[in-house]
Structures are given as C-alpha cells and as structure tokens.
Structure 1
Amino acid sequence: MSAVDELLDGLPGPERTAVAAVVDLAERLAPSAARGVSYGVPALLVDGRPLLGLAVRGERISLYPFSPAALDTVREDLAGWSTSKGTVHCSAAHPLPTVLLERMLLARLAEIQG
C-alpha cells in the first residue's frame, strides 16, 4: 500500500473525500503519476519527480506542489486560503477550487516535463 493510500485510509469521511478528490484530479491530469513519498510526505510522482505532496493535520489539508513558481500561478486567486512559499492550506469545508488546483498542477507538470 502506498503512502497516499495509507493517508486516505486514515482520514475521517470529510477529509478523505476532499483529499481523494485532489488525488483523483492530479491522476487524471498526470495518468503516469505514481503514488509514493517525497520530502517525507505522501506524494504523487511523475518521472520520479514530485508533482504534489499531501498532509492532513486535524481539519487542515496541506497541498505541496514542490514549486513556488507553480503555486505563484494561482497565488493571487487564493484570498481566503492560507499559503506559504510552497504550500497552500485548505479544508474539507473550504476546499481549493478545482480550477485553481488544476492550474497549479498543470504548471507543476509543465516544469517536470519541461
């Protein structure tokens, strides 16, 4: 079982649903993505490089695109979400909109496949 699967299995219903939606979108955008670990967090990897890392602590869901530049593609649209240089935080009650997540993931995927 992958670290992503273990994360999902250990989450309560609302968080599991929210994180599963993120993973499903990432895997649709990057069908060759493998589930694994990068920088100590469950992650999706493309060509051995991290596409997106995931962590959940309580109700807080952290998304790590492993690229400040990829996050910068949506940063101006993230009013209402907590961010840092390389992380965006959301929750099951206040998920990141699909359009923003997709834009960020596509930017990171373009970097990887560069």
Structure 2
Amino acid sequence: MGIIDAHLERAATGNRAALSRVYAVAREATPDLTEGESYGMPALLYRGKGFVAALESKSHLGLYPFSGKVLPAISDRLAGFDWSQGALKFTAQHEIPDDLLHLIFETRRGEIDAQLDRKKR
C-alpha cells in the first residue's frame, strides 16, 4: 500500500471518493507521477517535485498544487470555489469538475517542466 492509499483509508467514508477522484484524474493527466511527500503532505510528485495533494480537514477538502502561481493563473475558472494562492477548497458535494482538474494539472506540469528545463541549460 502506498502513501496515498494509506492517506485515503484515514479519510471519512463520505470524502474518500472525492479525494480519490482528484488523484485518479491527476494520474490520468500525468501518467508518470510517483507517490511521496511534499511539505509534510502525502502527495503525487512529478519529476521529483510536489505536484498535488488532496486532503481532508474538518470543514472542507483541499487541493494543494504546491505552487502559489497555478491557481491565480486560472482564477477566472475558479468561480464558485473558495481558494487562495496555494489551495482550492471543495467538498464531496461540490467537487472540482474534471476539466478544471485537468487545467490545474496541466498548468502545474508546465510550471515544473519550465523550472527544471531552465536549470538544465
């Protein structure tokens, strides 16, 4: 059992499917992800960098793209959600649509690629 599965098993039954869906869409959007930790959170990693975490809190679920630039860059698409630079809040009753998840993941993947490819030069 990986770190993500162990994390999901601890989530409340009503939230588990919504959190699992975030990770499933991330894996679909970016197949070469690995599991690990980033900022102390169970996370999916891309090229060794924190890609996404989806966590449960007492009052909401949160998606964390490990970047302060991803969500502001797509702010026009976040209507109806409470968000900050580093987190998007959602619930099992108000999940993040697949197309928005894909946009978040494409944006984060592009950010990581640009950062790491720039370092290679």
Say if 2:69 and 2:85, in contact at 8 Å, map to a contact too.
no
Q: CA deviation at 1:99?
A: 0.9
Shift of 1:12: 2.5
1:1-114 to 2 correspondences below 5 Å: 1-114=1-114
Cα distance in 1 between the residues matched to 2:2 and 2:60: 21
For residues 53-94 of structure 1, the C-alpha deviation after alignment (integer angstroms, 9 at most, x for no partner) is 222113511111112222123322222211111110101011
CA distances 1:24-71 after superposition (whole Å, capped 9, x unpaired):
010111111011110011110011101112221135111111122221
- Assess if the C-alpha contact under 8 Å between 1:15 and 1:59 holds in 2: no
Residue type at the aligned position of 1:9: E
- Mapped to 1, the partners of 2:97 and 2:74 lie a distance apart of 11
The answer to whether the Cα contact below 8 Å between 1:38 and 1:50 also exists between their aligned partners in 2 is yes
Q: Where does structure 1 lack aligned partners over 5 or more consecutive residues? A: none
Normalising by structure 2, we get a TM-score of 0.86
Pairwise CA RMSD: 1.4
Name the count of aligned residue pairs. Answer: 114
* TM-score, normalising length: structure 1: 0.91
Greater Cα shift, 96-105 or 55-64 = 55-64
Q: Percent identity?
A: 32
| Paired AA for residue 78 in structure 1 | L
Which amino acid letter does the alignment assign opposite residue 62 of structure 2?
S
Larger radius of gyration: 2
What code does the residue aligned with 1:106 have?
Answer: E
Moved over 6 A (4+): none
The letter for the 1-side match of 2:110 is A
**Residues in 1 aligned to 2:19 and 2:70: alpha-carbon distance in whole angstroms:** 19
- Check the 8 A contact 1:73/1:104 in 2, yes or no: no
